[in-house]
Amino acid sequence: MAGVYPMLLDETCFFLAVDFDKGDWLEDSTAFIETCHRLNVPAVLERSRSGRGGHVWLLFEEAVPAALARKVGSYILTETMERRPDIGFDSYDRFFPNQDTLPHGGFGNLIRAAVAETSPGRRQQCLS
């Protein structure tokens, strides 16, 4: 397994990952990506190792403050919920990075890298 800590020591990041789990993860994450496309924000969906969830990855050209990345993610999530009130977004779990600032003496939260092996010879699936 390979993973990455999204937040750098200066509390910036090069990506935001949005974690969707549970039953309706595919519908919810697809709606989120549709909003990204409407806002001209490139996004990629990666199916989780279990196949019962996924991460939407927003990649930035340069490091941005983690707080800003999370605000962008919150804005997109809110816009998606307003655009699609028919779906409950129960599958939304959290953002990576999980916090705006690094905990004292810590690295933040680890996320599995998108290229991690799921089983011998099998890779994660990018769906969009």
Q: Which amino acid is at 44?
A: V
Distance separating alpha carbons of residues 85 and 44, to the nearest angstrom: 23
Residue 15: both structure tokens together = 């990506």
Distance separating alpha carbons of residues 72 and 67, to the nearest angstrom: 9
Helix axes 66-83, 25-38, angle to 10 degrees: 110
| 3-class SS letters over 31-61 | HHHHHHHHCCCCCEEEECCCCCEEEEEEEEE
User: Quick one: pLDDT at residue 123?
Assistant: 46
Q: Cα dist. 3→29, 70, 75, 110, 113 in Å?
A: 21, 20, 26, 6, 5
The per-residue pLDDT string of the chain (128 residues; one tens digit each, 9 = 90 and over) reads: 678 878 999 999 999 999 999 889 999 999 999 999 999 999 999 998 778 899 999 999 999 999 999 999 999 999 999 999 998 889 999 999 999 998 887 777 878 776 545 554 444 444 44
User: Quick one: pLDDT at residue 107?
Assistant: 77
User: Quick one: pLDDT at residue 84?
Assistant: 93
User: Quick one: pLDDT at residue 1?
Assistant: 61
Number of other CB atoms surrounding residue 97 within 10 Å: 26
Distance separating alpha carbons of residues 6 and 28, to the nearest angstrom: 23
Distance separating alpha carbons of residues 5 and 14, to the nearest angstrom: 11
pTM for this prediction:
0.84
